[in-house]
């Protein structure tokens, strides 16, 4: 049995805890490792060492910090497939999906290597006579990240590379359900030449999170997870006067106009709804068919019926298991509720089996039609391979339908009309919009910008907004006297007397 180490003060060490969390392979439910509930003394060591390291790390030239990220992204690429295999086995993702998870993180590390240009301040000469003003961008101090199970490479890499490149130190508390991938990320970060204490990795649950939320040394909290936890993180962190960015739930809609390319729509809907077993905050979980486009629902059923879940190394599998038996139970309960509340269950993914893996958390592709906004399957984030279809008569109705949702993470429209696309992207109250693109996650030089109940905070993830989140602005107003200017002022003073 592998015990997952802590990464404290620049060393990988075994926790002294007597409380452990089983890490399982979702395809078999076999225990593959144990993660520690980090002890209070170990948490104290992580926080104090991060604070002490900050004193020296913030003084390291920004170009040297950027070079650490250059070396780090090269190591991540070199070990790409190895990390993806670890990730696939502890999350259940297919190998291709696992590689995509890591690659999107690598792109953020590459972006962090350009941190110098993002930390440039501003200056204005002669704001008053011989008075100049300029601003500097300076790091905050000890920052922390609390990350979810569904992207154990990408989301930690959203956070700590940018925070550290900005001159902060960072404490990562990854999901206890898949801590092996973040551990490998930390090992390679050390190999990239990061000084001891710049990054710490601790494990556990609410107790460890509460320590980070309440400790006055911690200046900023980054979180991705569920709505209830996201609200708790935001409310607790801000009450303790910390900077918080908290990414929470989602219910992402895709609008299908009658003039869209039908085959592109069907392909996009299948992949965006069941990919990663639907365990993505940007998954399309509601398809809104406008007018005659509703006639494509039977063909959508045929397309979804062809996909199947399977093991991470099954090249024919479209997606893997959900993360845990509890998650499977919840998804299947919501499918039953949707049927009971009157939605048309066109494909039922309950009682799904995979040959040779009888104990996995399998849920087959599931499709509902006739879904209304009053139903639980519409209002709750299912986080499984379940697609709900709703039908409206016009684009205006579709926009109103989506804007009534309390969530605003991502949305998309498939259409051949530039006018329809422009109206949609202008009027929709959602942070990330795709036009003929189902999952519009931006590249790192933009920012991941959820709205409404999908995000609590002011500055979003990666891009320029992340740099602003992890830094403060200092404004300096200065006046310098030359010997000539001093002499002139003295003579002027004498003349006045």
Residue pLDDT, tens place only, 89-123 = 999 999 999 999 999 999 999 999 999 999 999 99
With bands split at pLDDT 50, 70 and 90, how would you rate the model's confidence at 486?
A: low
Q: What is the pLDDT of residue 484?
A: 67
Is 281 designated active site?
A: yes
The mean pLDDT of 319-332, rounded to a whole number, is 98
* 238 pLDDT more than 90: yes
What per-residue confidence (pLDDT) applies to 397?
Answer: 98
Tens-place pLDDT, residues 45-98: 999 999 999 999 999 999 999 999 999 999 999 999 999 999 999 999 999 999
- Structure confidence at residue 150 (pLDDT): 97
490 pLDDT higher than 60: no
The average pLDDT across 182-198 equals 98
The pLDDT of residue 487 is 53
Q: Does position 332 have pLDDT exceeding 80, yes or no?
A: yes
More confident residue, 463 or 358: 358
Query: What pLDDT, on the 0 to 100 scale, is given for residue 491?
Result: 54
- Per-residue pLDDT for 180 more than 70? yes
Name the average pLDDT for the chain: 96
For residue 485, the model assigns a pLDDT of: 56
Q: Is pLDDT at 384 greater than 60 in this prediction?
A: yes
pTM above 0.85, yes or no: yes
pLDDT for residue 99: 98
Percent of the residues in the chain that have a pLDDT greater than 90, as a whole number: 95
- Pick left, alpha or beta for residue 123 (phi over 0 → left; psi -120 to 50 → alpha; otherwise beta): beta
pLDDT value of residue 494: 47
Please state which of the ranges 48-52, 62-66, 141-145, 480-484 shows the lowest mean pLDDT. Answer: 480-484
pLDDT band at 1 (very low <50, low <70, confident <90, very high): confident
What is the percent of the chain where pLDDT is above 70? 97
Mean pLDDT of 319-326: 98
- For the stretch 254-310, pLDDT in tens is 999 999 999 999 999 999 999 999 999 999 999 999 999 999 999 999 999 999 999
Are the C-beta atoms of residues 445 and 467 closer than 8 Å to each other?
A: no
Q: Residue 482 — very low, low, confident or very high, per pLDDT cuts 50/70/90?
A: confident
Catalytic residue among 166, 281, 352, 389: 281
Query: Over the stretch 170-179, which tens digit does the pLDDT of each residue have?
Result: 999 999 999 9
pLDDT of residue 492: 46
Domains of the chain: 2-248+462-476 (3.40.605.10), 252-435 (3.40.309.10)
**Backbone CA torsion sign across 188, 108, 147, 437:** negative
* 362 band by pLDDT with thresholds 50, 70 and 90: very high
The model's confidence at residue 438, banded by pLDDT at 50, 70 and 90, is very high
């Amino acid at each position: 049995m592998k015990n997952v180490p802590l990464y404290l003060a620049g060393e990988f060490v075994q926790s002294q805890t007597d409380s452990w969390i089983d890490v399982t392979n979702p395809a078999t439910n076999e225990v593959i490792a144990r993660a520690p509930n980090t002890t209070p003394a170990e948490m104290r060591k992580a926080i104090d060492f991060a604070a002490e390291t900050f004193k020296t790390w913030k003084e390291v030239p920004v170009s040297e910090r950027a070079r650490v990220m250059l070396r780090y992204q090269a190591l991540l690429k070199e070990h790409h497939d190895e990390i993806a295999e670890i990730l696939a086995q502890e999350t259940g993702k297919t190998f291709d999906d696992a590689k995509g998870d890591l690659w999107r993180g690598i792109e953020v590390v590459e972006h962090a290597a350009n941190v110098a240009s993002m930390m440039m301040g501003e200056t204005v000469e002669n704001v008053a006579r011989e008075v100049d003003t300029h601003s500097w961008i300076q790091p905050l101090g000890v920052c922390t990240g609390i990350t979810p199970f569904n992207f154990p490479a990408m989301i930690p890499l959203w956070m700590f590379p940018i925070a550290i490149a900005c001159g902060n130190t960072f404490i990562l508390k990854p999901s206890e359900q898949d801590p092996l991938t973040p551990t490998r990320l930390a090992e390679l970060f050390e190999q990239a030449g990061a000084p001891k204490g710049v990054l710490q990795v601790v494990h556990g649950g609410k107790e460890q999170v509460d320590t980070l939320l309440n400790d006055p040394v911690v200046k900023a909290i980054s979180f991705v997870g569920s709505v209830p936890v996201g609200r708790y993180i935001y409310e607790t962190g801000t009450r303790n006067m910390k900077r918080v960015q908290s990414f929470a739930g989602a219910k992402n809609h895709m609008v299908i106009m009658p003039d869209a390319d039908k085959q592109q729509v069907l392909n996009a809907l299948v992949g965006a709804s069941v990919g990663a077993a639907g365990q993505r905050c940007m998954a399309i979980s509601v398809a809104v068919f406008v007018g005659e486009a509703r006639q494509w629902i039977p063909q959508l059923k045929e397309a979804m019926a062809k996909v199947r879940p399977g093991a991470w190394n099954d090249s024919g599998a479209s997606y893997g298991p959900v993360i845990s038996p509890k998650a499977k139970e919840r998804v299947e309960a919501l499918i039953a509720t949707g049927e009971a509340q009157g939605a048309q269950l066109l494909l039922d993914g309950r009682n799904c089996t995979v040959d040779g893996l009888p104990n996995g958390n399998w849920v087959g592709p599931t499709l509902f039609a006739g879904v209304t906004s009053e139903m639980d399957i519409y209002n709750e984030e299912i986080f499984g391979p379940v697609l709900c279809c709703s039908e409206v008569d016009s684009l205006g109705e579709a926009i109103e339908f989506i804007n009534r949702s309390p969530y605003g993470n991502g949305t998309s429209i498939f259409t051949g009309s530039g006018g329809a696309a422009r109206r949609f992207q202008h009027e929709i109250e959602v942070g990330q919009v795709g036009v003929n693109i189902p999952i519009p996650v931006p590249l790192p030089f933009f920012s991941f910008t959820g709205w409404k109940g999908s995000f609590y905070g002011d500055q979003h993830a990666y891009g320029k907004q992340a740099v602003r989140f992890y830094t403060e602005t200092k404004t300096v107003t200065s006046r310098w006297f030359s010997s000539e200017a001093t002499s002139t002022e003295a003579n002027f003073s004498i003349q006045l007397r």
